[in-house]
Amino acid sequence: MIHPDTLTQHLKDAFTQAHVEVFDKTGGQDHYIVYIRSSDFAGKASLAQHRLVQKVLAPLMASGELHAAEIKTAVPE
């Protein structure tokens, strides 16, 4: 399990200057909905954006702290 604040900070460390929101989908602190708006995604297709986030989350998945993440990405306006 990973606390929402810890997950948020982990993502903010990886995507500087990003707006990050995480929501515990099941109440078990292992299934999250992740919203990230970052200029790091500019010029990248949605799939490429999601892969960047998945790469950051991979160690948490491998350790079992995180079981699933529904990822939503956006580029700042």
Please write down the HEC assignment for all residues of the chain. CCCHHHHHHHHHHHCCCCEEEEEECCCCCCEEEEEEECHHHCCCCHHHHHHHHHHHHHHHHHHCCCCEEEEEEECCC
Question: What does the pLDDT read at residue 16?
Answer: 87
Distance CA 77, CA 27 (A): 32
* Residues 20-75 pLDDT 10s: 999 999 999 989 999 999 999 999 999 999 999 999 999 999 999 999 999 999 99
Q: Give residue 18's pLDDT band: very low, low, confident or very high (50, 70, 90).
A: very high
User: Residue 10 pLDDT more than 90?
Assistant: yes
Question: What does the pLDDT read at residue 77?
Answer: 83
Entry pTM: 0.90
How would you list the strands of the sheet with 19-24, edge to edge?
19-24, 31-37, 68-74
Which CATH number applies to 4-74: 3.40.50.620, 3.40.930.10, 3.40.50.720, 3.30.300.90?
Answer: 3.30.300.90
